[in-house]
Amino acid sequence: MSNTLEKVTQILVEKIGIAPTEATLDANFIKDLGIDSLDYAEIVMEFEQTFDIRIPDSDAEKLQTVGQAVKYIEEQTK
């Protein structure tokens, strides 16, 4: 498991109370994890703080799965 995935999983566990095993790469934030728009906004802000990056709203809208978020974050932190 990549360090980025570990941190993303930790954020999801802390913010929305899912089990770590639910944060699979293909888990959809809304359909699989039951995240609403307010939760998602908080999670995106937490990603920004944790990884010291800026995620524009236009990019945030495209991040629908855990895997997409991990890939995006890794690309921004290279």
Give me the CATH number covering residue 68: 1.10.1200.10
Percent residues over pLDDT 90 in the chain: 96
Query: What's the pLDDT tens digit per position in 24-56?
Result: 999 999 999 999 999 999 999 999 999 999 999
Domain that holds residue 34: 3-76
Using N-to-C axis directions, what is the helix angle for 66-76 and 3-16, rounded to 10°?
130
Residue 78's pLDDT band, with cuts at 50, 70 and 90, is confident
Of the residues 36, 39, 52, 59, only one is catalytic, namely 36
Number of structural domains found in the chain = 1
Asked if 57 is an active-site residue, the reply is no
| Tokens, residue 36 | 């609403």
